[in-house]
Structure 1
Amino acid sequence: MPTDSGLRRLVLGTMLAAFPGTTPPDWARELTAEGLAGHTLFGRNVDHPDQIAAATAALREARPDVLVAIDEEGGDVTRLAHATGSPYPGNAALGAVHDLALTRRVYHAIGNELAAVGVNVNLAPTVDVNTADDNPIIGTRAFGADPLRVAAHAGAAVEGLQAAGVAACAKHFPGHGATVADSHLELPTVDVPLSVLRDRDLPPFAAAIAAGAKAIMTAHIRVPALTGEAPATFSRAVLVDLLRGEYGFTGVVLTDALEMKGAADAAGGIGPAAVRALAGGADLLCIGAQVDAELVETVVAEIIAALRDGRLDLSRVEQAAERTAALAAWTRAAAPVRATGTDLGYAAARRAVQVEGILTGLDAPLVVQLFAASTIAEGRVPWGLGPHLGGAEQLRVVAAETDAETLRSRAAGRPIVLVGRHLHRLPGGPELVESLAGSHPVTVVEMGWPSRWRPIGVRAFVTTYGASHANGRAAAELLGLTA
């Protein structure tokens, strides 16, 4: 058994922390110098490109091969553009366009933006197959509901990112797309046999592996046929037998955030979750967003205790640290290819918009945006048509707290453009839309997962396949509402 200091450095080499603010605090830099694998950046760490570059440079002064990760999926999940919304459409829009070269170019462009500010691991692409219309956490983050289409775009996204010298991390293995619960808040269950996973959920991961993905992220979901009562993040049957044995993955297995209830509650805390994840076959532990020095020390102490009392084998932790170090070495040796083009994301978003019905008679409409809460993954990022409207009047309402007559009166004979996200499951949304459309000209703009629901009586149903800044501009332009 190594010395205490040797064990500490070994264990730190399996961990991704996070820090508050736009400048790494002393403790974050000190832990990095001691051997901490790296940090994940969140929206609160991001102000402007020069600031991000300075923050990542400060971490590299502590140790040159530090990993700096971020969730930059484009579309609805963005950290670089959290203040305005992403200039790129997300996966659902790219899947709807179904141009693999475009997906590769968009992810290459995102990778270039990350590399320019010193980020070397992107916790993307999301390659879950969104087979549940009511999925509360994946939705437009998925390339679609067809496994083969998602697989094709998964490979293209990985290739695009890694051509920019940024490691791709395909997520969430073995597939979060069939859930109707959010693993940030509870432990979802996907109760299907392995044969269904192989046909429906796993092809995109196989494609990502074939494309050379450097990392794959685990899902905090329960698959009884494989994991019993535990999440996949703790399961050797999933992470070792299936992912490595059957699918031949040799890169880094990275956990989803261990602070999420799907992991922490299942293990009795973040520290025990870290131990179980390592024992299950994970290599790099994403602690989460709310991290400080005390939490890092608590997790380190828990893992060291597990090594001493036999819950963890030393060889398993050494293997995890070696894989993580190999990933860091790849990021330093990568020879990125730079991309050009400034309007790529907006052009892609325009191609994704689909219209059912007739877009006429929309002079001077009342634009009504229905409030929709953001998921934890998305954060509070602006969305809608508002930033792109010329002189059109916009009203924001809560669907369950307004009524059709109020909106008709406010419109005063003008047509109404009703903008929403996931309208089919928005409380009061379907009823409000159909009541309004029964006696008023209404055009619906769906900026979430469109589902199979179509409201009766509307003049047109416009699907953007996402709510990014680019998606919003594309819809506003199509409707003739931009200045």
Structure 2
Amino acid sequence: MSRPPARAVIFGCAGLRLSPEERKLFAKAQPWGAILFARNIADPQQLWALTSELRDAVGRDLPILIDQEGGRVQRMRSPHWRDWPPALEQCQRAHDPARAMYLRGRLIASELRACGIDVNCAPLADIATDHTHPVLQNRCYGTEPAQVVANALAMARGLIAGGVLPVLKHIPGHGRAQADSHLDLPVISASHAELAQSDFAAFRGLANLPLGMTAHLLFKDIDPTQPATLSPTMIRLIREEIGFQGLLMTDDISMQALDGPVVQRADTALSAGCDLVLHCNGDLHEMTALADICPLLDDASLARSNAALSQRRPAETCDLDALDTEYATLTAWRNTARI
């Protein structure tokens, strides 16, 4: 039996198990992937059952995503999983920041794979400044492009070594945002030249990663009318100036930084050049509408998807306890929550 084709969308789900209606939708729509949140997570056994249900529903090895950055943004928490310090704090205090980020990625990957999750929405290459909005600031990996590239690349390599694909975010750079894009559209007034030397430079150094996520930001000097996610000009910049050739998904299409009906936003994002629409809230009505307008992957998007998924592989063998001890030594921090 041939593998069902994947649609250019990633869906969430509402609860701890798939409802009959969700199962039918996933089977019919064939989303490229699924994304999980705290509302979907109780304990390791339940989480494994849910990831298995999602794959059974579509009849293939569905990529399953999560935001497990560590710090404030981690959907899996103690007592069943490790809790992590904010990334910026860790990078500032670690004896070897890049090695510490590699270990963080490798240890996070071990917990994700044990529950059937194989894509993590990390690393971040946004550059922290004194003015970065608090929703993002301490999630960043540094304040200079070279530092951010080294730490983000290490995190990505740790995830990959643990059998988890990384998603680079938020392209082309969220660090200058002084508004929360969950609630409002941040407007970036810096010149193109200034951005090219700083924010964009960090992403250029990570352009070979397999998956990426756009930012819902308005860059006044480049496209003063459309947020990056919806802007052909900005998507072309991501592809050509930054050089990112991986599979590109939107940030959550239902965030309030974007205007108009969700279906219209999704159609505009795909027309602008995004490969996948990310829809996170689990609203069955919205997902059904998106399934009607998001096409099956083909041509360049299908090639990018195949290239990204070809990098999925089993975790490398390692001594996780030894890595945990090394991480604690590097960061002067020891976690007490273990599976």
Normalization by structure 1: what TM-score? 0.63
Instruction: Decide whether the 8 Å contact of 2:187 with 2:219 is kept in 1.
Output: yes
- Once the two structures are superposed, the pairs formed by residues 457-468 of structure 1 within 5 Å of their partners are none
For residue 453 of structure 1, what is the aligned residue in structure 2?
none
Tell me which of the two structures has the higher relative contact order, counting C-alpha pairs closer than 8 angstroms and 6 or more residues apart.
2
Instruction: Decide whether the 8 Å contact of 1:190 with 1:223 is kept in 2.
Output: yes
* 3-state SS in 2 of match to 1:176: coil
Residue of 297, 300, 311 corresponding to 2:291: 300
RMSD, matched Cα: 2.7
Aligned-pair CA distance for 1:329? 4.5
Residue of 2, 8, 13 corresponding to 1:14: 8
- Once the two structures are superposed, the pairs formed by residues 261-410 of structure 1 within 5 Å of their partners are 261-263=256-258, 265=259, 268-288=260-280, 290-303=281-294, 318-331=299-312, 334-342=313-321, 348=327, 351-352=330-331
4+ residue segments displaced more than 6 Å: 82-85
Verify: 1:161 aligned to 2:159, yes or no: yes
- Choose 1 or 2 for highest CA Rg: 1
Instruction: Decide whether the 8 Å contact of 1:255 with 1:284 is kept in 2.
Output: yes
* 3-state SS in 1 of match to 2:31: coil
Specify every segment of 5 or more residues in structure 2 that has no aligned partner in the other structure, as ranges.
none
Distance change in 2, residues 1:132/1:343 (3 Å): farther
* 3-state SS in 2 of match to 1:108: helix
For residue 38 of structure 1, what is the aligned residue in structure 2?
33
The count of aligned residue pairs is: 330
Q: Deviations over 1:31-53 (max 9, x none)?
A: 33332112100001111112111
- Once the two structures are superposed, the pairs formed by residues 129-208 of structure 1 within 5 Å of their partners are 129-208=127-206
Q: Deviations over 1:271-293 (max 9, x none)?
A: 111011111111111112x2233
Distance change in 2, residues 1:118/1:104 (3 Å): same
Specify every segment of 5 or more residues in structure 1 that has no aligned partner in the other structure, as ranges.
1-8, 305-313, 354-463, 472-483
Distance change in 2, residues 1:82/1:175 (3 Å): farther
Residue of 67, 73, 76 corresponding to 1:71: 67
Letter in 2 for 1:337: E
Residue of 39, 50, 54 corresponding to 2:49: 54
For residue 380 of structure 1, what is the aligned residue in structure 2?
none
For residue 240 of structure 2, what is the aligned residue in structure 1?
245
Instruction: Decide whether the 8 Å contact of 2:105 with 2:159 is kept in 1.
Output: yes
Identify the range of structure 1 (63-72 vs 133-142) with the bigger mean alpha-carbon deviation: 133-142
For residue 437 of structure 1, what is the aligned residue in structure 2?
none
Distance change in 2, residues 1:174/1:318 (3 Å): same
For residue 110 of structure 1, what is the aligned residue in structure 2?
108
Residue of 92, 96, 99 corresponding to 2:97: 99
- Once the two structures are superposed, the pairs formed by residues 440-451 of structure 1 within 5 Å of their partners are none
